[in-house]
Amino acid sequence: MRVVATYLALIGAIAGLPAAGLAGQSMSAAEFDAYTRGKTFYYGRDGSAYGGEE
């Protein structure tokens, strides 16, 4: 049972590696506001749009 738990933990850690590399630096609230001001965001999933925000 311990081997299975160790194996699952290892797989979970490996699966998380690519996402960790894409994260980049965190933005402050002011930086996020400056970055998003004047842009329109569109949301979708699996090729289907479901919303937008100005």
Give the pLDDT confidence of 33-42 residue by residue, as tens digits.
Answer: 998 888 888 8
Q: Tell me the domain boundaries of the chain.
A: 2-53
The pLDDT value recorded for residue 51 is 83
Residue 52 and residue 42 in contact, taking contact as beta carbons nearer than 8 Å: yes
pLDDT per residue as tens digits for the range 10-31: 565 556 555 555 567 888 999 9
Alpha carbon dihedral 5, 6, 10, 15, in 10-degree steps, equals 0
Distance CA 4, CA 22 (A): 29
